[in-house]
Amino acid sequence: MDEGGRPQRMRPAAMPLERDLEDAIKADPDILGEPVLLIGRQVPTANGGFVDLLAVDGEGCLRVLELKRGRGAREVSPRLWTTPPGRCRSPTRAS
């Protein structure tokens, strides 16, 4: 979108490597389109894997961002997993 809110044509460009896209998101999480606080990168999981990026949104819900390579050598596709709306509860403190 341009400054007047009108759509603009984008130039085709090669997608960066997964780690380059992680760097870009870490540097400016606003590019995800919603405000989040990044809390981890390459976070180990209980099953021996890793989460590319872990974040918390404004309601305290965890957001998991996984970057997956496509079939093309230069394709990287970000996928954002989150708790479905209404199912995330902010942590509460014990009294």
- The whole-model pTM stands at 0.62
Provide the 3-class DSSP secondary structure of residue 84.
Answer: coil
In this predicted structure, what is the pLDDT of residue 39? 93
User: Up-side HSE of residue 1: CA atoms within 13 Å toward CB?
Assistant: 5
Q: Which two structure tokens, joined as six digits, stand for 58?
A: 């404004």
Q: CA nearest 52: which of 87, 84, 17?
A: 17
In this predicted structure, what is the pLDDT of residue 7? 86
The region of weakest confidence among 6-10, 12-16, 17-21, 70-74 is: 70-74
